[in-house]
Structure 1
Amino acid sequence: MMNYTQNNQSMKNIQLGRKKRQWRWWSVTITLFISSILLCGAMLMLGNTIYPANDVFRALLGEQLGSINFAVNTIRFPRMLAGLFAGFAFGIAGNTFQTMLRNPLANPDVLGITAGSSAAALFCILVLQTNNSIVSIVAILAGLATVVLIYGLSKGRTFSVGRLILVGIGVQAMLSAVISYLLMRGAQEDLPSAMRWLSGSLNGAQLDAVYPLMLTVFICSPIVMFLSKHLSILELGEQSATSLGLNTDRTRMLLIFASVCMIALATATTGPIAFVAFLAGPIAKRLVGSGLSTVLPAGLVGVNLVLAADLVGQFAFEIRFPVGVITGMLGAPFLLYLLIRMNRKGSL
């Protein structure tokens, strides 16, 4: 009788703990969603001229309000959409790589995937001078090719995340050299826009360039969310995931393909916004806690980081800075802290 009572109490404690984790997940996710909406509204209202929310809403509905229509529909709305979907793409993709490879350093920035897409996009912009659709396609192909190259070079008798990260850092350095060479060989009149793009910027965002990113996020992010339970199983390790009946190769390929597509299109649209993919996952895990998926919260954290950093870059200083400069200022100290902590634990 006593054993039955103890087991019953244990089950109640487990159920209570699960409900608390679910409540925390929903609270964090809803808060991040509301914060994203508020930041989107701020992006539309703030600028050289501050417009009230009512005028912004009327302009978005197509009502003719003079200069407000041009400022809101042509400049601020595409900029807001670019930041919204790029932040979401960077956040989800970075969290996917970090969770799948069980290492916070294993994100597209460090592994060189972002650099691969950047080098290809820059080649199209400076050398081929192609349109946005070609840049997007080439960026995706280059991102996938970079993944294949890194995986092939790091493959040994057994899979090692540490080896993968080291190879990725080396590939990133090589691709950075390619980017520097392209900048040296590019036409003088194209260099300012190329440098602004490389720093990660929402300036000059246009709807026709944002549409492919939006379509990719709408297609690929549900794939990652649908596989979020499998992603959590992959976090347990290769042997544990296989013993639980998971087809690890197929799941990993789907997750990598969806994530690289989002990373490549986001990079082609806004440039490589530094450290968003690196920061979003760890922040989401701290906020949500353990036991539940961090895919959607990481995407929303990415949105908040990009939009908030862009507002800070526009209005917090005398000189306007691109969004990538602000996120870089946030991410670099965290990267150093993480490296020091992992070195003390012997993880490096």
Structure 2
Amino acid sequence: MTLSTADRSGLTRVRPALRLGPLSLVLRPTMLLIVILLAAVLFALFCLDITTGAAHLPLGRVLDVLTGGGTRSQRFIVLDSRLPRALTALVVGAALGLAGAITQSILHNPLAAPDILGITAGASLGAVAVIVGTGGAATGFAASVGAPLAALTGGLLTAVTIYLLAWGRSPTGDHGVTGLRLVLVGIGVNAFLVSGISFLLARASLQDAARAQLWLNGSLNSADKTRLIPAVLALAFVMVVALGSARTLATLRLGTETTRVLGVRIQTQQAVLMGAAVVAASVATAAVGPVAFVGLAGPQIARRLLRTPGEPLVGSALVGAILVVGADVASRTLFPVDLPVGVVTAAFGGPFLLYLLVRMNRKATLS
């Protein structure tokens, strides 16, 4: 049987597949090229971040030190001082971007980000409580681990609280958590937690309030290996869980009825994926403090660059890392003072949030 020209023109071209044993992958050359370009931009910003500082080092000298060369003083500046900061910025940005991609995919809402849902505020409240409660006398364990551990605990407890408050009967009559209800509850809990942070700052001494406010701005000045290692481990764990559940995550975007017909346990998968996102956001916040709008903007920028139907996991992590590392470079080169990285991301994220709101409003008007 032969097809006419008209019939052939109506057929959809099938993308080439790559088969490796039992695995079968669809080749998307354009998407792969964009991901490689994003990785290249991230590597360039990462190297530039290491060269930036009070003592400027040429890029060639930095690469020489990273490959085992350089003098003792240069190795100290690069490996002990600047490399942990740049790595922390990269890991924190990737974790926030990945957490935002998971939450936005599950809740079908581009505004569903850890800082909007209250996860970041819960982590911040825990850290501020420790910083203010110690009265500046924290040393040893409390100084290096106390606030990050409290931030992680606060983020996890806040996520559990929001999930329980959002549990109820859906429009179809099933019991569970819906995206809209979770977002609304998260916004309310976020407002409550922010007021709690303000209350603690108002009652604290001037010195403790200044220390807490510096942490609340998302500063990389205190980044070290003690906080970097847990963040790396958490990012690796969340990445494995997210990539292992990529097909389930794509199925959840199809809607409740279609997902149930395909045999996916919606509430169980939502709980697992949301738990992974909460761990990533809480650990990132515990490492450097709240870095605003990265979890919101990263997945949406990656989605537009890669032109995917949902928020891409790897692309979101790369864009999130680019935003934080780029903000760290900008904070130390474009301004007369060394600004906290959270201030720079907030300045970028505010207009981007307005853009998303205007775009959503136009879609609602047209529909």
Shared fold (TM-score, shorter chain, > 0.5): yes
- Aligned counterpart for 1:154 among listed residues 157, 161, 166: 166
**Match for residue 126 of structure 1?**
132
Deviations 1:264-298 (A, max 9, x none): 11101111111000000100100111257600000
User: What is the CA deviation profile of residues 53-97 of structure 1, one whole-angstrom value per residue up to 9, with x for unaligned ones?
Assistant: 343244445656243233222321111011010000000001110
Alignment pair present for 1:80 and 2:86: yes
Q: Which residue of 2 aligns with 1:144?
A: 156
Question: How many residues get paired?
Answer: 347
Aligned to 2:33: 27
Q: Match of 1:326?
A: 344
What is the one-letter code of the residue matched to 1:280? Answer: G
Check whether the contact 2:300–2:311 (CA below 8 A) recurs between aligned residues.
Answer: no
Deviation (angstroms), 1:3: 6.1
Give the Cα–Cα distance (whole angstroms) in 2 for the partners of residues 225 and 134 of structure 1.
Answer: 31
- The alpha-carbon deviation at position 10 of structure 1 amounts to 5.6
1:118 is aligned with what amino acid? S
Percentage of identical aligned residues:
35
The TM-score, its normalising length taken from structure 1, stands at 0.91
Q: Point out the structure with the larger helix share.
A: 1
Matched, 1:13 2:13: yes
CA apart distance, 1:153? 2.2
Segments of structure 2 that go 5 or more residues without pairing to the other structure are 19-24, 171-176
TM-score normalised per structure 2:
0.86
Note the C-alpha offset of 1:260.
Answer: 0.8
CA distance in 2: counterparts of 1:168 and 1:228, whole angstroms: 25
1:113 equivalenced with 2:119 (yes/no): yes
Distance 1:2 1:108, change over 3 A: same
Q: Do the aligned partners of 2:331 and 2:339 also contact (CA within 8 Å) in 1?
A: yes
CA distance in 2, matches of 1:49, 1:330: 28
SS state of the match for residue 341, structure 1?
A: helix
Where 2:28 maps in the other structure, the secondary structure is: helix
Residue in structure 2 matching 1:180, options 198, 202, 207: 198
Q: Secondary structure at the match of 2:168?
A: coil
Counterparts in 2 of 1:7 and 1:231: CA distance versus 1, 3 Å: farther
**1:137 CA drift (Å):** 3.7
What is the one-letter code of the residue matched to 2:161? L
Could you tell me how far 1:8 is from its partner in structure 2?
6.8
| Matches of 1:92 and 1:44, distance apart in 2 | 24
User: Structure 2: which amino acid aligns with 1:244?
Assistant: L
Alpha-carbon separation, structure 1, partners of 2:155 and 2:12: 47
From 279, 289, 296, the counterpart of 2:314: 296
Query: How far off is 1:105 after superposition?
Result: 0.9
